[in-house]
Amino acid sequence: MVKAIIAPSILAGDFAELGCECHKMFKSGSDWVHIDVMDGHFVPNITLGPPVIQSLRKAVPRGGADGKSASFFDCHMMVANPEQWVPEIAKAGGDQYTFHYEATKDPLALVKLIKSHGMKAACAIKPGTSVDVLYPLAEHLDMALVMTVEPGFGGQKFMASMMPKVADLRAKYPNMNIQVDGGLGADTIPAAAEAGANVIVAGTSVFKATDPAEMIQFLRDRVNNNLKGRGLLEE
């Protein structure tokens, strides 16, 4: 059983106010914040790294002041040597480490390394990568990420042609967390939800919304309604 998890991408936020932006998203009802780490090698862009995540973790402590608030850091590692950064991201305060299948020669060993550092392990695939590569890893993963844009830059157009990958994963692994990332918003969430995605990364559509809380709830409702129809919704 799974449920909707909404993870706004801080790539779309104000980098001068990242701590405040994270608090704003959690107060608006997000389950996670999605943190894009880019190294300029695996993707042609450079964003942020462990020092920034560490600072954000100080600003957004695990559990919040009340010990119960959402504070999950979903770290999407678009880096050429993902093994190198596992200890650093764990130390900085990451909760989940998503590596790209295309960036490692031994994905299963990397999954074990991530978990040995106390983080959840997830594997992402680029648009040009077959979903089949995830099948041998699936039982070891906490989540699979199907990119719905080419990784590297925010604000790209959603690639509906990636939805069969999501549908195949949901059919084969009904209880897996399946994330989609890239171009998600009010117009594209129906296709993602219908395919079976339950973890939604949304950047511009949430951060630039007049009412972020309303948009987050809209995304959540579309996903949960589909999961309920499939008999997969975790109550």
Task: Report the alpha-carbon distance of residue 112 to residue 116 in Å, rounded.
Answer: 6
The response to whether 19 counts as a known ligand-binding position is no
The response to whether 63 counts as a known ligand-binding position is no
Q: Say whether 181 is catalytic.
A: yes
The response to whether 183 counts as a known ligand-binding position is yes
Q: Say whether 36 is catalytic.
A: yes
Return the SS3 of 114: helix
The response to whether 117 counts as a known ligand-binding position is no
The response to whether 36 counts as a known ligand-binding position is yes
Q: Which of 36, 39, 74, 95 is catalytic?
A: 36
Q: Which of 31, 95, 168, 181 is catalytic?
A: 181
The response to whether 41 counts as a known ligand-binding position is no
3-state secondary structure 4-58: CEEEEEHHHCCHHHHHHHHHHHHHCCCCEEEEEEEECCCCCCECCCHHHHHHHHH
Strand ranges for the chain from DSSP E: 5-8, 32-38, 72-78, 96-100, 120-125, 143-147, 177-181, 199-202
Integer CA distances (angstroms), 227 to 43, 120, 134, 192, 195, in order: 33, 23, 22, 12, 10
The response to whether 100 counts as a known ligand-binding position is no
The response to whether 34 counts as a known ligand-binding position is yes
Our separate counts of H helices and E strands in the chain read 8, 8
The response to whether 98 counts as a known ligand-binding position is no
The response to whether 203 counts as a known ligand-binding position is yes
Q: Calculate the dihedral angle through the C-alpha atoms of 188, 20, 87, 109, rounding to the nearest 10 degrees.
A: -10
Binding site listing for a divalent metal cation: 34, 36, 76, 181
Q: List residues with catalytic annotation.
A: 36, 181
Annotated binding site: 9, 34, 36, 76, 152-155, 181, 183, 203-204
